[in-house]
Amino acid sequence: MNPREFIAQKGYRDNPRRLMEDLIHLVFLILGLVAVGSVLVITIYLVISGLPAIFKIGPAEFLFGTRWASTASEPEFGILPFILTSIYGTAGAIVIGVPIGFFAAVFLAKMAPRKVREVMELCIGVLAGIPSVVYGLVGMTILVPGIRIIFGVPDGATLFAAIIVLAVMILPSVINVSLTALQAVPREYEEASLALGATSTETYFRVTVPAAKSGIFTAIVLGIGRAIGEAMAIMMVAGNVANMPSIFKSVRFLTTAVASEMSYSSGLQREALFSIALVLFLFIMIINAILNVLKTGGRKG
Amino acid sequence: MKKILMVMVVAALAMAAAFAGGSNEESATVSTDGSTSMEKVILSLAEQYMADNPGVNVTYNPTGSGTGITAALEGRCDIGLSSRALKDSEVESGLKQTIVALDGIAIIVNADNPVSDLSIDQIHDLFTGAISNWSEVGGADAPVVAIGREAGSGTRDGFESITDTEDACVYSQELTSTGAVITAVSQNPGAIGYASLASNLDSVKTLTVEGVAPSEDTVKSGEYQIQRPFVFATLSGTALSDAAQKFFDYCTSAEAASIITGAGAVPVAE
């Protein structure tokens, strides 16, 4: 179609405002595509640069190898220690962080006096805004020496330190999402329960919490997503040695494996780092998929 | 609206003219290839040199000492960069080495550690885990915590090659910067680590090695053993291109010494 026909068909000549309208739509569409385009570029780039090394090393050796020695004279590229560390570290953070966050959310939603709630919500907002490097710095200067002294281990830079830092870091998202879910439960449910003679604590845990279940699961999955993708803070407290994970050992996560070696890497080492990033990306994709299922499930319920 | 547009057009034209003026000068390229440990030194030198000599472009390809030496030998680059002395076989095959700078690595422990001197063998054993308690080298009864740099770091590569601990170190922490190593060592009474001599070592205790304290002078004289040379490898038979020779002369001149010091190495030019 030539431009003149196009203009005639759309009626732009008679109606210049329509032209303006359509132009603005076009601009907004392009801006919207920036996000879509970024995701596509990142995905394609990661797959292209991450896959070759996996096949050079051998998928089984890469994923299940237990030794990572990328610059040794006979290099080995096994990332099982990183995968397990990421899983254990995230699980640990969830085990510690979710109960604290969940009970804090129940307290804020149902029991807290207004003044207390306002102060606590302010604090949680601040906690959410603290950059991860600050978490790392505080962890490095207080938590790491603290763990060494309290537990009597030679060095405090351990998986345990990373779990504590991650547990604190996921608190804001766990609290906020659980809180929204709890507040969305209709008052009638609780009133009915109270009218039947249940105490208020019974009501919260038997009626309100089950009703907010899907929102609380969403909070947990969000926490997992935050914990598994964190790099900076745990790089500063976990010691970064490619050991198989153990609670009082120095460990390296998937994220920190990429971040710590990237700056000086070359050749197959660099390619393997991209492969680690690809594995991490898959983990995050799976978590996002679970999150989506939970969200749509919540809407139906 | 029209005025703003006008201003923008004029600005754009002015900028275009300015850039066009710059590109009219003849350009020459000096290519360097090799040691990643020398990255900071060579990039600092190149940056200053390119600022002083517009039109000259100095490139750096971080491949590693071995690759850099081969590249120089095969004529794929003007100057090969090596963070170790050339082997006899490499000199025989037609290369010439020029030491541009020396890299001293300090061995650091916690300020409260009573140990003040170690031999190279003891350092080897402390980092490989053969010695696991400080009492074995005259210190307190405390476990040894070895803190190092990440794989691929030039300092790690230098330290491990000098102390013969390549792929054998048992680290408690692998940190990604000199500052992080120093902080970690300053906080753990049992820690031992290594850091470039040029870094700020006030918060930790710097050990003497075989009785020699690390300093610019002892590194230069060769008394302090944990050091290595930063070498320019060039073909001994063929002359460098004009541009490359000028850059080479600049790097080995006294003028470049302060830049080399700034990049954390000990300059050798007087």
Say how far apart CA A199 and CA A196 lie, in whole Å: 9
Tell if the CB–CB gap between A239 and B151 is shorter than 8 Å: no
B125-149, pLDDT tens digit by residue? Answer: 999 999 999 999 988 899 999 999 9
Please check the confidence at residue B103 and state whether its pLDDT lies above 50. Answer: yes
Report the gap between the CA of A242 and the closest CA in chain B (Å).
Answer: 9
SS3 sequence of B229-263: EEEEEEECCCCCCHHHHHHHHHHCCHHHHHHHHHC
- Chain A residues touching B145 at Cβ < 8 A: 154-155
Tell if the CB–CB gap between A240 and B190 is shorter than 8 Å: no
Q: pLDDT value at position B5?
A: 61
Q: What pTM value is reported for the model?
A: 0.78
Closest residue in chain A to residue B187, using alpha carbons only = A145
pLDDT band at B21 (very low <50, low <70, confident <90, very high): very low
Query: For residue B196, what are its two tokens?
Result: 């470039």
Please check the confidence at residue A8 and state whether its pLDDT lies above 80. Answer: no
A198-215, pLDDT tens digit by residue? Answer: 998 899 889 988 998 888
Instruction: Please determine, looking at this structure, whether the domain spanning B2-102+229-267 carries the CATH number 3.30.365.10.
Output: no
A154-173, pLDDT tens digit by residue? Answer: 899 999 999 999 999 999 99
As a whole number of angstroms, the longest Cα–Cα distance in chain B is 82
Closest residue in chain B to residue A257, using alpha carbons only = B150
Q: pLDDT value at position B117?
A: 93
Please check the confidence at residue B86 and state whether its pLDDT lies above 90. Answer: no
Number of H helices, E strands in chain A: 15, 2
Q: pLDDT value at position B22?
A: 43
Find which of B35, B40, B176, B182 to mutate to test the A interface (most A CBs within 10 Å of its CB): B176
Is the CB of B68 inside 8 Å of chain A's CB atoms?
Answer: no
> How many angstroms from the chain centroid is the CA of residue B58?
18
Is the CB of B71 inside 8 Å of chain A's CB atoms?
Answer: no
Tell if the CB–CB gap between B154 and A264 is shorter than 8 Å: yes
Please, which residues have CB within 8 angstroms of residue A222's CB and are 6 or more apart in sequence? A170, A173, A174, A177, A291
Say how far apart CA A225 and CA A288 lie, in whole Å: 8
SS3 helix, strand, coil % of chain A, rounded to 5? 80, 0, 20
Q: pLDDT value at position B135?
A: 93
Q: Which class is domain B104-227? A: alpha beta
Q: Are B170 and B128 in contact (CB under 8 A)?
A: yes
On whether ipTM exceeds 0.85, the answer is no
Please check the confidence at residue B18 and state whether its pLDDT lies above 70. Answer: no
Straight-line distance from the first to the last Cα atom of chain B, in angstroms, rounded to the nearest whole number: 62
User: Where, residue-wise, is CATH 3.40.190.10 in chain B?
Assistant: 2-102+229-267, 104-227
| Amino acid letter, residue A216 | I
Closest residue in chain A to residue B132, using alpha carbons only = A154
Q: What is the DSSP letter of A208?
A: I
Report the gap between the CA of A261 and the closest CA in chain B (Å).
Answer: 6
pLDDT band at B31 (very low <50, low <70, confident <90, very high): very high
Query: For residue B151, what are its two tokens?
Result: 């794989």
Q: pLDDT value at position A117?
A: 93
Closest residue in chain B to residue A136, using alpha carbons only = B180
**Residue B232 vs residues A60, B65, B243: alpha-carbon distances, Å:** 42, 10, 15
